[in-house]
Structure 1
């Protein structure tokens, strides 16, 4: 390939554009980056490609003869097959193997599809961003095999990349119904997924794409729906006096704190000698008195803070609230202040 001072080039691994400003020894060239004109970097000739979209070099430019670049077909995708049966397979997984450069920084990843099961599949894979298709692969993946899909640049993480996988399991009876999954790759989740990849035995960023390959039957679901339609619904008799109290003291209601922390250290002193059963009984007593006071004052709702531990206190509270005639409903849903650690009681 011919290079000259003034030639417009691209860096193969980062996609950055630049201009050759000098010819160095040992097959290296000095390149001024287009996005930072004050910054020049030495680059190996094989790490560059001519920027075909740029303007041609002027006739007075000084050319040098580079290494010829033979035109050949892309090599077949690598397949690495494990000689051992994996005892706890995870299914079809997408793995991004970091490929450090000469300076140790990672600007690209080798993309693999891992199949640690005993099944074989026909697969369609597409990796794309908002602006371009990165990889499109149609192939067959064997059991206990890692299939190389191609390269993924780290810069593409900032362009909302998505991966689509569609497979059909190969069985003795033919091909199963297709299964598919779309993965949205977010940078924060990406860098938190570094694990040792099965079959490859290298560190890679991994995602499970499909972990179940048995076609789902809808007959049982339809039978249950039909059964439910045929069963008469029971009418529940209204609970006597099931109405909220009216506020008799507006000032007391205004000063009422609509939440109670039921962690034992916030309720009593000297709890270290109590066993779990005694602690639970005290927590339920405080919760009941608090709910009754709130209903008596006419509070519209309160929050019982129980935390997100083993769930025993939450379940005991639910059983207690279910039988309280002054409680219209209660729920344990995500709350911006308490997360899942509180039950909301509505009167």
Structure 2
């Protein structure tokens, strides 16, 4: 695939994230822009990416990923016929992308993430799937396109079922007092809900069993006043019967 990608590489040895670009096209890209954060000062990005090349352009501390970096860039694409177009784009990596990383072959199998910046379409020399602004008659200005990329990574692997049965939470549940089991169940439930929300999961199943109904009622009470929950149901399910509640997030 002929594309230009932003590459973020995780260096576990010093807890840093390297910022690079990979140009798999026959064109040259001249790049300038900034990385802005929710707090820290912006970082300047500037460089030239020759055809079929890759380049590192700096690094940030790993924990700065939590400051939601925004890569706002302008790129001039030069083909063999000269200046082809100017592209503006914004890429917003999310902290959840770094829960599960991919080994990047072209970067010595280092763990990281790749974000598409530009891709050549099969029947055109312009940016794929992005509308191109029309030029005024007689204008010699290069065409300009806008590309906002919010989330190109797959969601990290996440189990959409939480089983709160005691034997799932303790090695020897029979030796644990009921109140201690209940406290662990509720604490695990809250942790799981926070995790699901942070990853923008659309729906989950909380397996609480039938029993006395104490756990089911406590979970329903929590869900009732949770602003992130659009709905929750405890109808009969072919897999869970009445022993699970389905939660749908807003």
Instruction: Give the TM-score normalised by the residue count of structure 1.
Output: 0.33
Structure with greater contact order relative to length (CA < 8 Å, sep ≥ 6):
2
Instruction: Give the TM-score normalised by the residue count of structure 2.
Output: 0.45
Higher Cα radius of gyration? 1
